Amino acid sequence: MPMAADELSHEIKPTTSRRRKVFLALGILLCLIIGGFIVAHVRAGGSAAGAASDAGAGEVYAAVAPVKRETVATSLSIAGQFMPYQNVELHAKVAGYIKNIYVDIGDRVHTGQVLAVLEIPELVAQVDASKAAVHHAEEEIQRARSEVSRAQADNVALHANAERLVNTDKVRPGLIAQQELDDATAKDRASQAQVDAAKSALAAAQQQLEVAKADQQHYSALGDYARITAPYDGIVTWRFSDTGALVQAGTSNSSGLPVVTVAQVNVLRLRIPVPESLAGKVRIGDSADVHVQATGEHFTGKVARFTGALDPSTRTMQVEIDVPNPNYHLQPGMYADVTLLANSRPDALTIPITAVLRSDNKTSVLVVNSQDRVQVRQVVLGVESPDRAEVLSGLSEGERVIVGNLGSYQAGEEVKPKRADFTSTGNLSSTE
């Protein structure tokens, strides 16, 4: 029995060993099969990626923009300065002493407001004398009128007496002495002359009254100038006199100082010097973009007026923009950065300035036609702004032009166009 067990164990051991070898061989074979599948899949993926890369390398992309209608204008960036809309030095019309002065620098004043009062004693006396002269002339007129009435009454009586004597002499010739008739006729004529003289005296008295009234108005007007008033709403920018100071008449030959200076600042003039190259293109109503350095404000204005002539010393033309300033927050003397849009062309056919190719005194663009092929097109440009140019000829609305990298394309080359739009900052953004 022991021998049989040993023989059996010897038989079982070789069988188990063979099974292990078989299983090991099967596992190795399975691993090789799986590895082969993985390698084949990787190679297939790499081949597909390579094919896709080769296909993509054959396409040429081009950023294009449409030819469209927009308002275009020549742009000029320049510094401007705010000036008062009106600025006047108020002088005294007549010489006198400052009796009262009611304002100081920085005070806001209104039209007709009394700023200072002068004391002029001699002018008061002249006003009183002119009033007395008017009264005297009026009394003279009354006396002259009475003299006319008396002369007319005498003339009526003497004329009636002369006519009566003449008529009596006609009825009964010789009854009245010729001397008496001559005396009556002479007195009649003398009385008529007295009437005429009285009327002339009355006319002279009336003219004298007009003269007296004119003198009174003259001195009264000078008296009104003793009150210095504001000619418009504004602000007192300087004060030259104090109470009790003697001020000279503004019309005198002496260089008398003004009493105060008043500036109108509820509306300001933004004055900008436009260079000679652009002066002839500026028009009333041209738009201007204004940035105030001191306050940080940003607004749009329009050209209100310009000199129409160049300053010989600077070769610039002064252009003004009216800027409302109701709360006086802007002050004369402040500077502003102004971008003036002159020579405006509304509804012009335009292209981006980056689409323009200049060479050999020629201007051209690259057009992508309906077959997506590049064409070189000669164009004539008009007004140019920093980002767009007006097209006078060579292009039609809706055509596509290449923008940027213009030297990378050849005529006849097929491209894949991608729409490019300008952002508000002037950069390009691509869209499918």
The confidence score (pLDDT) of residue 187 equals 83
Distance between CA atoms of residues 312 and 314, nearest Å:
6
Q: Tell me which of 134-143, 229-238, 293-302, 324-333 is least confident.
A: 134-143
DSSP string for residues in 330-344: S-TT-EEEEEEEEEE
CA distances from 158 to 127, 181, 183, 188, 294 (A): 47, 12, 10, 5, 95
CA distances from 424 to 132, 203, 364, 385 (A): 79, 83, 26, 14
Greatest Cα pair distance, the chain, in angstroms, is 228
The confidence score (pLDDT) of residue 337 equals 95
The confidence score (pLDDT) of residue 30 equals 63
The confidence score (pLDDT) of residue 31 equals 62
Mean pLDDT of 178-198: 83
* Residue 29 pLDDT exceeds 70: no
Distance between CA atoms of residues 267 and 275, nearest Å:
25
CA distances from 83 to 108, 141, 263 (A): 17, 57, 9
- How crowded is residue 360: how many other Cβ atoms within 10 Å of its Cβ? 6
Please say whether the beta carbons of 66 and 320 come within 8 A: no
Mean pLDDT of 402-417: 88
Distance between CA atoms of residues 342 and 333, nearest Å:
25
Q: Which residues contact 195 (CB under 8 A, 6 or more apart)?
A: 148, 151, 152, 155
- How crowded is residue 57: how many other Cβ atoms within 10 Å of its Cβ? 8
Distance between CA atoms of residues 256 and 315, nearest Å:
35
Distance between CA atoms of residues 182 and 172, nearest Å:
17
* Residue 125 pLDDT exceeds 60: yes
pLDDT band at 17; cut points 50, 70, 90? low
Return the structure tokens found at 118.
Answer: 């002068």
DSSP string for residues in 300-325: EEEEEEE-SS-BTTTTEEEEEEEEE-
Question: Is residue 286 exposed (0-12), middle (13-18) or buried (19+ Cβ within 10 Å)?
Answer: buried
**Mean pLDDT estimate for the chain:** 82
Return the structure tokens found at 351.
Answer: 């292209």
Q: Tokens 């299983």, residue?
A: 23
The confidence score (pLDDT) of residue 72 equals 83
pLDDT digits (tens, 9 = 90+) for 43-83: 544 444 443 344 445 688 889 999 999 888 888 889 999 99
3-state helix, strand, coil in the chain (%, to 5): 40, 35, 25
The DSSP bridge partners found for residue 361 are none
Closest CA to 266 of 320, 332, 325: 325
Closest CA to 400 of 383, 382, 377: 377
Closest CA to 387 of 430, 354, 420: 354
Closest CA to 79 of 273, 320, 315: 273
pLDDT digits (tens, 9 = 90+) for 332-380: 999 999 998 887 788 889 999 899 998 878 899 999 998 889 999 999 9
Return the structure tokens found at 345.
Answer: 């062309």
This prediction has a pTM of 0.60
CA distances from 213 to 123, 138, 159, 309, 331 (A): 16, 10, 39, 48, 47
Please say whether the beta carbons of 336 and 30 come within 8 A: no
Return the structure tokens found at 253.
Answer: 């030959």
Distance between CA atoms of residues 339 and 301, nearest Å:
10
